[in-house]
Amino acid sequence: MNLILIGAQGSGKGTQAQLLAEELRLKPCASGDLLRDAIALQTPAGRAAKPYYDRGDLVPDDIVADMILDNLQQLGDAKGIILDGFPRTQRQAELLDRRLGEMGAHIDHALYLAVPRDVLQDRLSGRVVCAAHGHVWNLKTHPPRVPGVCDLDGSPLSQRSDDTPAKIKHRLDIFFGETIHLTEYYRRQNKLVQVNGNDSVEVVHAQIRARLGVERAPAPVQNEQSAANG
């Protein structure tokens, strides 16, 4: 199964992408993470993308598309892909459809996590990410067990450089002015699955599973060791 997650910044799409990737054995591919890695490593694409990223603007389609499309070819033993943050423009969606078509594949569903703008603004101001793997937590809606530390890998948490109030507003303007039109693109293809994202991580995830017809994985049988480890 190949999935796309469409959602504004702060809609929880990164968290849902992680959950779905584990549950459905899909390869997660987040364009923002790929860009942050390329910028940190100062690759040619990273250097070209940095000024756009720093302003909170969309990075030009060709730079992002090349990064993502190259990544699609290395699926390993995953059963498909889950794209988070790509496509963000109609041109990117068309490039993706074309490249998948050449590979004999296609997108099965585009999930849109709908969250009102005022809720997004509020959520983003509480968002923190971990230094090691970019796991996303939210001090208001999805806090880590120990403040300032990632539950999953123990690395320190901090706010992203583009989560300042002015950049948040700018990025939400771009989402509601441009990216949201992708819902029409996928609705025309009968692939759009719209879910109410204005709820807890667990409730949103349950809605997604129900809409995709995915069964809940059976609870693992606990042996003494796993019971002791909690």
| Catalytic positions | 13, 88, 127, 160, 171
Both tokens assigned to 87: 């496509």
- Shortest distance in whole angstroms from residue 221 CB to ligand AMP: 38
- Shortest distance in whole angstroms from residue 107 CB to ligand AMP: 15
- Shortest distance in whole angstroms from residue 1 CB to ligand AMP: 21
Using the minimum distance from each CB to ligand AMP, give the nearer residue, 164 or 209. Answer: 164
Q: How many CA atoms lie within 13 A of 184 on its CB side?
A: 7
Question: Which amino acid belongs to residue 204?
Answer: V
Q: Cα separation of 215 and 118, whole Å?
A: 33
- Shortest distance in whole angstroms from residue 214 CB to ligand AMP: 24
**Residue 9: which residues within 8 A CB-CB, separation 6 or more?**
120, 124, 168, 171, 172, 175
Using the minimum distance from each CB to ligand AMP, give the nearer residue, 64 or 82. Answer: 64
Q: Cα separation of 166 and 170, whole Å?
A: 6
Q: Write the DSSP assignment of 56-125 as a string of letters.
A: TPPPPHHHHHHHHHHHHT--TT-SSEEEES---SHHHHHHHHHHHHHTT----EEEEEE--HHHHHHHHT
Could you list the residues that contact ligand AMP (CB under 6 A)?
A: 9, 31-32, 35, 52-53, 56-59, 64, 85-88, 92, 162, 171
Using the minimum distance from each CB to ligand AMP, give the nearer residue, 26 or 163. Answer: 163
Using the minimum distance from each CB to ligand AMP, give the nearer residue, 100 or 213. Answer: 100
